[in-house]
Amino acid sequence: MSKYLLDLTNEFSGLRALVTGGSRGIGAAAAQRLIDGGAKVVVTARNSHEETPAGAIFVAGDARTKEGAAAVGHAALQALNGGIDILVNSVGAARLHASLEAIPDDEWIDSLNINFLATLRVTAAVLPALKQSKHGAIVNVSAGGLIPFAGAMAHYGAAKAALNNYSQGLAKELAPLGVRVNIVTPGPIYTPGGDEVRKQITTAMGITDQQFMSTVPLQGRGGKSEELAEVIAFLVSDRSSYVTGHNHFVTGGWGELA
């Protein structure tokens, strides 16, 4: 067989992974892709859903608090027999408000907890074990952290900006140990959470979802979770062994910085 023909069936065989926010959407697709590649995968979220991969070990937990994140990390490591090679942080949520001034203080705090601090805390909980891996890789899913959102989602964008900065700092710190850290920024993707937020946006704009998606340069369509999952799989695989500290846009060319 030619060395240029890739057999990805068992590329993650023997590896152990944790996917946060893995019960549906991008997280579930990433978990399924890792399972398909032979990895043993733990997914965590507050609740499981129909999308939760059947081949994954589900750990219920709320990573929005320090105690909750520590419990998630502990339970995941127990399920993975004390070791971990891959961490995919896909946890996140967004709620729209009428304006920046209309965002209450507790919403700013909640957004920071779920969109930034949950990732920081879960990462901290499993990092000692991850440092022992010969295949250590982290991917943090972000969005809106580079281009300021309009006031309605300023709290979400601010939290993701913090996540981006943290991720790149972590990449530099862990590079000497061979642990790689990358960011994936999705564009308009069809997911349950994304669909709900986009519905609120399009309603406010007075346009249809199809009209919104027509602004995407690549075929005027939204992306699939599986398309994000394939990029995540590449970034945690040995195929990207010299890639760290970068923000990878999977947007179909949509957005100012795509």
Evaluate whether 140 touches 186 at the Cβ level (below 8 Å). no
Q: How far is CA 57 from the centre of its chain?
A: 18
Residue 32 CA to residue 43 CA, distance in Å, equals 10
Catalytic residue from among 156, 166, 190, 242: 156
Evaluate whether 117 touches 15 at the Cβ level (below 8 Å). no
What is each CA distance from 215 to 15, 70, 148, 185, 222, in whole angstroms?
39, 41, 19, 17, 10
Evaluate whether 44 touches 27 at the Cβ level (below 8 Å). no
Angle, helix 118-130 to helix 154-174, in steps of 10 degrees? 20
Strands (E), the chain: 16-20, 40-45, 57-60, 86-89, 137-141, 180-186, 247-250
Looking only at the bridges linking them, the beta strands covering 57-60 and 40-45 are parallel
What is each CA distance from 109 to 10, 92, 122, in whole angstroms?
41, 13, 18
4 is annotated as an active-site residue: no
Residues contacting 98, CB < 8 A, separation 6+: 152
Q: Which residues are catalytic?
A: 156
